[in-house]
């Protein structure tokens, strides 16, 4: 053991001496030779700014020389203090107050497809109801043979199932309809998350209560002060709608509907009623406030589309983005997220010249229906300005539209369902800004 450690220390010292011995230029060459695949890009970061900066081999840092704190100091763990900037944020002017408001997922700092529950965007219509789970009840009634009132314990006795699905507010990107406005990825696309949801299929509960002939709609109502309620077609209820009590393995967080919510996979987040207290089965939609005055699409001719439930195919590049500028020219892993409320993502293309040329990206992880899908590709940045875009296609063959195509179909009065191809302008200094090109 001791001999091995001595050898290790000797080796590290050799590498350190090698670094010290070399001049600034040679030092860069030394590292660049080791980065053939990256084309010297990483070397530019490692050797950093000036030739005067001391070379830093992995000599034994202070934290490797001492005992750290042990267990039980963190019975429920938290992120590193060095990640304190990775938080949900709101846009003060966007809503009238903080009670009926929105916070956004920090997409630029996230990896993979799972969104941590603590970073999942929030949307409130009357703030956060602080529910005592033992007293919470879910009533299922209306056009049913056996109305039912369930406690949380009751609900846990039904067969349980899990699915990884995205959740997106239909207003995601809504501030961009008339032009580029928001200055961060967190605000252009951050009403978006993806999680493993666990609960009871709504179809199981409907079988339990016995749906009567002619029933075709279900009203889902929340226990918040707004009694947020949406009408859901029976087809969706019988397909994959899930009465959810857990997100990413643990009980739902309060801001996500604790102790129970509805998830309609791939559909407007607004239909995924949080703090679910009531499911009424009927034969027509209810035309509630949040499906008439809100969450409808005002078309160019002044008419309004109602019940546009599906979140269409969409995508965005998450690296680089305004929060993640590039530091120097060289090779990078350009990545992003794609999703479709209609099924799986089939392909994602990326352009670096505003849509003139496209390269197919790689999908790097699970490809699940109605889930975020991670894509990426290698790119050697020569330091020139660029217009970076992504364009996703889903398994139905639907391709994400340009802004010109979207505006031709929908006009500019809309708030919801903006899924146009997004553009980041990469400047010569590596900074990234939000722009729109048709």
CB of 21 to its own copies, least distance (A): 15
The DSSP code for 144 is: B
Q: Say how many Å lie between the first and final Cα of the chain, rounded.
A: 65
DSSP per-residue letters across 58-116: ----GGGSS----TTS-SS----GGGTT---B--TTTSSSSSS-EEB--GGG--SSPPP
Looking at residues 148 to 187 of the shown chain, list those that interact with its own copies (rule: CB under 8 A).
148-151, 153-154, 156-164
Nearer to its own copies, 56 or 404 (CB): 56
- Residue 360 found at the interface with its own copies (CB under 8 A): no
Of 23, 49, 50, 65, the one binding its own copies by CB under 8 A: 65
Distance CA 193, CA 38 (A): 31
Of 23 and 74, CB closest to its own copies: 74
Of 103 and 314, which CB lies nearer to its own copies in the complex structure? Answer: 103
Most distant CA atoms of the chain, gap in Å: 85
Name the percent of the chain in helix, strand, coil, to the closest 5: 20, 30, 50
Residue 54 engages its own copies in binding (rule: CB under 8 A): no
Number of residues that bind its own copies (CB under 8 A): 142
- Shortest gap between Cβ of 184 and its own copies (angstroms)? 15
Q: Which residues pair with 391 in a beta bridge?
A: 349
The residues in 278-317 that bind its own copies, with binding defined as CB under 8 A, are 278, 280, 286, 288-289
Residues 229-288 that bind its own copies (CB under 8 A): 245-246, 248-251, 253-255, 258-259, 277-278, 280, 286, 288
Site string for its own copies, 92-121 (x = CB under 8 A): -----xxxxxxx-----xxxxxxxxxxxx-
**Does residue 38 touch its own copies according to CB under 8 A?**
yes
Q: Which is nearer to its own copies, 179 or 383 (CB)?
A: 383
- Those residues whose C-beta lies under 8 Å from the C-beta of residue 231, and which sit 6 or more positions away, are 217, 218, 219, 285, 286, 287, 288, 291, 307
Residue 367 in contact with its own copies, rule: CB under 8 A: no
Tell me: does residue 24 bind its own copies (CB under 8 A).
no
What angle, rounded to 10 degrees, do the helices at 24-33 and 2-21 form?
Answer: 130
CB atoms within 10 A of CB 98: 12
Q: Which of 378, 395, 399, 405 binds its own copies (CB under 8 A)?
A: 378
């Amino acid at each position: 053991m001791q001999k091995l450690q001595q050898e290790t220390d000797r080796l590290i010292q050799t590498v350190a001496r090698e670094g010290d011995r070399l001049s600034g230029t040679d030092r860069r060459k030394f590292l660049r030779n080791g980065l053939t695949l990256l084309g010297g890009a990483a070397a530019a970061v490692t050797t950093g700014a000036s030739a005067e900066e001391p070379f830093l081999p992995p000599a034994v840092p202070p934290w490797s020389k001492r005992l750290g704190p042990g267990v039980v100091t963190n019975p429920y763990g938290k992120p590193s203090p060095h990640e304190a900037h990775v938080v949900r944020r709101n846009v003060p002017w966007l809503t009238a107050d903080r009670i009926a408001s929105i916070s956004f997922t920090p997409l630029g700092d996230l990896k993979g497809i799972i969104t941590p529950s603590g970073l999942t965007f929030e949307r409130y219509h009357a703030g956060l109801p602080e529910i005592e789970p033992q007293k919470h009840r879910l009533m299922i009634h209306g056009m049913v043979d056996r109305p039912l009132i369930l406690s949380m314990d009751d609900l846990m006795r039904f067969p349980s199932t899990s699915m990884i699905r995205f959740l997106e507010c239909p207003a995601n990107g809504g501030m961009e309809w008339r032009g580029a406005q928001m200055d961060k990825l967190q605000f252009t696309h951050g009403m978006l998350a993806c999680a493993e949801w666990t609960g009871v299929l709504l179809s199981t509960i409907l079988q339990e209560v016995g749906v009567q002939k002619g029933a075709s709609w279900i009203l889902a109502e929340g226990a918040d002060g707004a009694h947020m309620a949406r009408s859901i077609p029976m087809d969706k209820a019988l397909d994959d709608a899930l009465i959810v009590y857990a997100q990413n393995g643990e009980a739902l967080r309060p801001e996500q509907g604790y102790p129970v919510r509805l998830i309609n996979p791939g559909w407007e987040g607004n239909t995924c009623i949080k703090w679910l207290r009531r499911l009424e089965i009927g034969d027509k939609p209810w035309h509630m406030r949040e499906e008439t005055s809100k969450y409808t699409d005002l078309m160019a001719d002044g008419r309004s589309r109602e019940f546009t439930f599906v979140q269409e195919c969409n995508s965005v590049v998450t690296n680089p983005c305004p929060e993640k500028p590039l530091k120097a020219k060289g090779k990078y892993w350009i990545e992003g997220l794609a999703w479709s409320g209609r099924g799986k993502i089939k392909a994602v293309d990326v352009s670096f010249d505003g849509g003139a040329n496209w390269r197919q990206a790689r999908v790097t992880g699970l490809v699940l229906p109605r889930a975020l899908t991670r894509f990426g590709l290698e790119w050697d940045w020569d330091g020139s300005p660029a217009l970076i875009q992504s364009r996703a296609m889903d398994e139905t063959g639907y391709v994400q539209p340009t802004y010109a195509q979207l505006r031709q179909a929908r006009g500019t009065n809309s708030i919801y369902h903006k899924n146009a191809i997004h553009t980041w302008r990469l400047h010569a200094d590596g900074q990234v800004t939000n722009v729109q090109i048709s």
